[in-house]
Copies of this chain bind each other. A is one copy, B any other.
Amino acid sequence: MPAVDKLLLEEALQDSPQTRSLLSVFEEDAGTLTEYTNQLLQAMQRVYGAQNEMCLATQQLSKQLLAYEKQHFALGKGDEEVISTLHYFSKVVDELNILHSELAKQLADTMVLPIIQFREKDLTEVSTLKDLFGLASNEHDVSMAKYSRLPKRKENEKLKAEVAKEVANARRKQHLSSLQYYCALNALQYRKRVAMMEPMLGYTRGQINFFKKGAEMFSKRMDRFLSSVSDMVQR
């Protein structure tokens, strides 16, 4: 593991084998990070998906409890008690559904979104700049080869000067794209840590909020209701 934490921009122009070797280390790191980020995103989207499904499931359950009343049972004697109890349970499920929906929204905004943005912005930027740097390097190599193949005769001075200008242009372009690429790779090292921790901060805060509100929701009032239903069931 090299004892460096950034690519030096002043090395970009010289483009030495040492700098290229260090660059490849940063590129390998970015590759590993991209792969890991995709897996982490997948795991987080699964959690979000489960939370979302819980919202839909509690919605369906609440509706189904209310639907008891609309069944028009041929024998409805004594059903008033069942209907009012299921209505109450449906309200409980509705209140829970609000908490579940709030949690799902929080997970989307503070867990899934930051890591998607990290992938779409930071990782994609590195990958794009890598391609541009590759293209500029190729262009530079091509113009260098052209220059070295020029015949050494005097009458070619004008052509030589033209190709030399082309080489200089290509080098400038490569230099510029390497500066941008180095900057993005350095920034990635900096962003990486935050990008890994921020979504879990969102996840945990969402859970804390969810449990706090849930615990408040189930007050003593509900204890009385539940023991009266429990008595009914045991009768």
Contacts and interface: CB of A to CB of B under 8 A. Distances in A.
A188 to B, nearest CB: 10
Contact of A57 (B4, B46, B77, B230): B46
Contacts of A194: 232-233
A127 to B, nearest CB: 16
30 contacts: A1-B75, A2-B75, A5-B78, A25-B74, A26-B74, A29-B73, A32-B71, A32-B72, A33-B73, A39-B64, A40-B65, A43-B57, A43-B63, A43-B64, A46-B53, A46-B57, A47-B57, A50-B50, A54-B54, A65-B200, A68-B196, A75-B189, A82-B196, A89-B203, A193-B232, A194-B232, A198-B233, A201-B226, A201-B230, A211-B218
Contact of A212 (B49, B63, B215): B215
Interface in A181-235: 189, 192-194, 196-198, 200-201, 203-205, 207-208, 210-212, 214-215, 217-218, 222, 226, 229-230, 232-233
Contact of A44 (B29, B61, B96): B61
Interface of A: 1-5, 25-26, 28-29, 32-33, 36, 39-40, 43-44, 46-47, 49-51, 53-54, 56-58, 60-61, 63-65, 67-68, 71-79, 81-82, 85-86, 89, 92-93, 96, 189, 192-194, 196-198, 200-201, 203-205, 207-208, 210-212, 214-215, 217-218, 222, 226, 229-230, 232-233
